[in-house]
Structure 1
Amino acid sequence: MREQDGPDGVDTELAAASRSIDPALLGERLRNLRVAAGMTQGALAGGDASVAYISRIEAGTRRPDLGLLVTLAKRLGVSLEEVLLGVSRDRRAELRLALDYADLALRSGNAADALAGATDVHEAAAETSDHELVRESALVTALALESLGHLDDAIIDLERLLEGEEPSARWTRAAIALTRCYRESGDLVRATEAGEQATARLRALGLDGSDEAVQLAVTLASVYFERGDTRHAVRLCRTAIGRAEELGSAKAKASAYWNASIMESEQGRVEAAIPLARRALALLESDDDNRNLARLHSQLGMFLISSEPPDAAGAKESLERAATALEWSSATAVERSYNTVALARSVLLLGDPDAADRLLEEASAAAGSAPLLAADCALLRGQIRGVRGDGEGARAAYLDAVQILTGIGADRSAAQMWFDLGTLLDQLGEAAAAVTAFRSAAASTGLAVPRTVIGTVGTVGTPTA
């Protein structure tokens, strides 16, 4: 039963709307309803108000009290919801159901249908005073755009959605998506700003203990990691693990363990990373968030590729499982492509460069809006060419990757790629070019050649016999 307010039996939502509705919007709506009913202002006024007062209401200069609005609605033969919200309760229920279907389509991997459904709901809701429905449909629309790889459009919608809204689960979900979109588009500075601002706002309001806040923390950690600040990324993940343990939430714990495992892996401790990833998987197995479960299977596959020695067969199995799950989740085209690149690497390790090349072409389709993915594709292209003995082609591909990463400030990743290129060139017997690549790797991490180089035999500071 809905909460009642006053002798007219009006629920609190409509009572509040009667006090806050824009008089101009209310006046326009009443005028349209009156004209549609074929009534004059005098007929609408009856004996309850003057014609002049009805005229001022329709002009938007007066906001009538709730009792008069109830009377006017009855005289017009419409519900009070239609007068105050611009839509009947049944129609609102239909719109909310349609939005639920759109959200379900998104979570099931059908982003195109989700976008179409959420857009229709948003357009219909925009003509009403149901601000919650407007914002909810805007979020699903933005997430669908992200899933389809339209990162710039998603960023615009998410920024607009976050403006002027108080922190909530929906607000935090939008902040996570905005941070993620900026990261995937290569704008790591704005990704950091978005994540830090949202984190500070949640902390100030004492809302930093929610599942969504933990997920925001680990998303921000991934941005710091991509920028090369591994230590801070690890600190954020450790803090998130502590918060997740306090929460007792399977999803929050899994998210924290998953990102902690990524940090371990990237610091060369792959053997420590794999148990963390598997613990996160176990937590998510009982959760209904297919996207997170699929992404985690994908990450585990990447860890198995990086383990020593690489477990290519195990990685391929995990990545294929992730690929199937990603198709039935709200994962973005970029996320699916990262999994495809990793799958191609596992296939390459198993000795099938042709199959790896085909998978690479499939993954490259989503790289246009995601420079980090484009760089990863270029790196794999270089590896495939190297396996085929095409040293020059491999070098060109590696340099493409380095150029992309350097251009967006992803210095840690650029350094790793320079190092990989140096190793490849050394294997090809091009020692001078390899030395240049290794020096570039050092420069990308912030190291510089000292003004006075000491290290030649017999120079100052070098032990002599």
Structure 2
Amino acid sequence: MGQIDTSTADLASVDVHALGARIRALRSQRGLTQGELAGKSLSTGYVSRIESGGRRPTMKVLIELAGRLGTTTDQLLHGIESSAYDEIRLGLDYAEIALESGDAGEAESHARQALAAAEASHLASFVERGAYLLGRALEARGAYDEAITRFEQVVATSTGLPRLEAGIALSRCLRDSGDLSLAIEAGEQVEAAFSDTPLATTDEAVQLSVTIASAYAERGDLSRATRRCTAAIATAEALSSPRARAAAYWNASVVESTKGRTTAAAPLAARALALLSEGRDERNLARLRLQVGRLLLQADPPEVTTAIDHATRAREDLVHTSASAVDLAFCDVTLAQAHLLTGDHVSARELAERCLETAPAEAPLPRVEATIVLGQVAASQGDVDAARSSYQSAAQLLSAVGADRSAAQVWYELAELLEEVHDYDGARTAFRSAAAATGLAARRQRVTTAVLSR
């Protein structure tokens, strides 16, 4: 009974044009006319309409056609036998389970195998899902270039919710890899495709909007980012969805923080944290804990103990989700910065070095921050040459980041640190790199160094 129910459900969702094409191809292989396939129970015209995709047969009719063609209903519905079809579906399920459990390597392996089998069998829906899951696994490993290619594939070939979900992932990957203009362009193209559909008022639409807003914020267009976040909050509140509302509040908090308004950012972040706790979205809840921890380090004075608690819990939780290597790297460097403020130079160095070992090359910003921490540790211990070398290395890494708002902030901080170790030429270069952005204030709380006391 279960198999019949499953086949009936598959018949209801199958692409009728693909089904008709398979029936027509098998009929030709068997050397049958449409009349011979129709037999006495069906009309030739009815068979013709089925083959052209104009009619969806009933399960009873499909069983008759399969019998006359010497095949199975599974072969007609999917192009492959049920066992092979189920094997592909199971492989995709395993990929998703591994992804949500935080095992990106296992997820990638399952997704690649299932995707290859789906492509060989021309199973469009499985190809779509496989490409999306593979993209997410690659994103989690920090392999942004291939992840972007996979998400672009899904956006170009899919419709409805799968396209919207892939659009979110595509915009996010482009943003995280530093291509802010393309992140905005790709996101807005997908958004425009759904503007007049019911999907425009879903959780996913809100998530796409705030992803675009975050790219605007990083590019320095804070007014547009703020307008988007405000609109997203209004939509999310109307949805009464904890997940969508949390995404909107979270990004609104990030925008306020970027403007230097930590006082305004903190309650927005707290609101998002409460909403995500309610919605049990473990990965985004952990990411938000990290964001709150970073905000607390920027406060005046910094709330170091609470920041360490948030960042530590965030890392522990992210390890068991599909979070990317970039998320984990930012956890490590945030903890390194916090321990530096407490005077625990050993932990600060170890965490910064772990960040440098794990952060992917496609996302240089956490590597820059970790290298700066190593310089600060050296400076606090009186090793001016090592500090200068680390700061110069950070400047080289930062040159690859681009001219977004967050990079400008780090340039500004790096310029001040270079001044402290008497690298005035490097400091001038860093100040020039930061000059494109205005209204920036030194965010990082620096330790008093031996250099300053001379």
State if a TM-score over 0.5 links the two structures: yes
Which one of 110, 114, 119 corresponds to residue 117 of structure 1?
A: 110
CA distance in 2, matches of 1:425, 1:113: 43
Identity of counterpart residues, as a percentage? 39
SS of 2:71 mapped into structure 1: coil
Q: How does 1:15-414 map to 2 (within 5 A)?
A: 19-21=16-18, 70-75=63-68, 78-89=71-82, 91-166=84-159, 168-205=160-197, 207-364=199-356, 365-414=358-407
RMSD: 3.5
Structure 1 residues 143 and 41: alpha-carbon distance in aligned structure 2, compared to 1, 3 A threshold: same
Structure 1 residues 185 and 416: alpha-carbon distance in aligned structure 2, compared to 1, 3 A threshold: same
Q: Shift of the alpha carbon at 1:269?
A: 1.9
Q: Shift of the alpha carbon at 1:101?
A: 3.0
SS of 1:218 mapped into structure 2: helix
CA distance in 2, matches of 1:439, 1:100: 50
CA distance in 1, matches of 2:382, 2:416: 14
SS of 1:367 mapped into structure 2: coil
Q: Which runs of 5+ in 1 are unaligned?
A: 5-9, 35-39, 50-56, 448-465
| Cα deviations by residue, 1:363-399 (Å, 9 ceiling, x for unpaired) | 1232312133333333333333333334444344444
Q: Shift of the alpha carbon at 1:99?
A: 2.2
Q: Shift of the alpha carbon at 1:69?
A: 6.5
CA distance in 2, matches of 1:79, 1:431: 76
SS of 1:203 mapped into structure 2: coil
CA distance in 2, matches of 1:327, 1:156: 25
CA distance in 2, matches of 1:106, 1:202: 28
CA distance in 2, matches of 1:63, 1:176: 33
Q: Given the two structures, how large is their TM-score scaled by the length of structure 2?
A: 0.81
CA contact (8 A) 2:418 2:426 kept: yes
Structure 1 residues 316 and 116: alpha-carbon distance in aligned structure 2, compared to 1, 3 A threshold: same
CA contact (8 A) 2:26 2:69 kept: no
Q: Shift of the alpha carbon at 1:248?
A: 0.7
Task: Tell me whether 120-129 or 86-95 shows the greater mean CA deviation.
Answer: 86-95
CA contact (8 A) 2:266 2:295 kept: yes
Give, as a single letter, the amino acid of the residue that structure 2 aligns with 1:272.
A
Q: Shift of the alpha carbon at 1:175?
A: 0.8
Give, as a single letter, the amino acid of the residue that structure 1 aligns with 2:201.
G
Q: Shift of the alpha carbon at 1:64?
A: 12
Given the alignment of the two structures, is residue 440 of structure 1 paired with residue 440 of structure 2, yes or no? no
CA contact (8 A) 2:95 2:107 kept: yes
CA distance in 1, matches of 2:223, 2:120: 49
CA contact (8 A) 1:418 1:437 kept: no
SS of 1:309 mapped into structure 2: coil
| Cα deviations by residue, 1:146-177 (Å, 9 ceiling, x for unpaired) | 111111111111111111322x2221111111
CA contact (8 A) 2:395 2:430 kept: no
CA distance in 1, matches of 2:162, 2:24: 32
CA contact (8 A) 1:185 1:372 kept: no
CA contact (8 A) 2:378 2:387 kept: yes
CA distance in 1, matches of 2:13, 2:228: 42
CA contact (8 A) 1:379 1:398 kept: yes
CA contact (8 A) 1:270 1:303 kept: yes
Structure 1 residues 141 and 431: alpha-carbon distance in aligned structure 2, compared to 1, 3 A threshold: closer
CA contact (8 A) 2:395 2:414 kept: no
CA contact (8 A) 1:145 1:154 kept: yes
CA distance in 2, matches of 1:48, 1:238: 60
CA distance in 2, matches of 1:63, 1:279: 51
Structure 1 residues 380 and 228: alpha-carbon distance in aligned structure 2, compared to 1, 3 A threshold: farther
Give, as a single letter, the amino acid of the residue that structure 1 aligns with 2:18.
I
SS of 1:21 mapped into structure 2: helix
Q: Shift of the alpha carbon at 1:48?
A: 6.4
Larger Rg: 1
Structure 1 residues 20 and 336: alpha-carbon distance in aligned structure 2, compared to 1, 3 A threshold: same
SS of 1:347 mapped into structure 2: helix
| Cα deviations by residue, 1:218-264 (Å, 9 ceiling, x for unpaired) | 11112112212222222221221111111110001111111111122
Q: Shift of the alpha carbon at 1:216?
A: 1.0
CA distance in 1, matches of 2:203, 2:385: 49
| Cα deviations by residue, 1:286-341 (Å, 9 ceiling, x for unpaired) | 32321101101111111111111111111111111001100111101111111111
Task: Tell me whether 314-323 or 220-229 shows the greater mean CA deviation.
Answer: 220-229
Q: Shift of the alpha carbon at 1:180?
A: 1.3
CA distance in 1, matches of 2:397, 2:325: 20
CA contact (8 A) 1:395 1:421 kept: no
Q: Given the two structures, how large is their TM-score scaled by the length of structure 1?
A: 0.79
SS of 2:194 mapped into structure 1: helix
CA distance in 2, matches of 1:338, 1:30: 59
Give, as a single letter, the amino acid of the residue that structure 1 aligns with 2:323.
A
CA distance in 1, matches of 2:250, 2:53: 54
Structure 1 residues 413 and 17: alpha-carbon distance in aligned structure 2, compared to 1, 3 A threshold: closer
Task: Tell me whether 381-390 or 66-75 shows the greater mean CA deviation.
Answer: 66-75
CA contact (8 A) 1:258 1:296 kept: yes
CA distance in 1, matches of 2:118, 2:432: 54
CA distance in 1, matches of 2:218, 2:383: 30
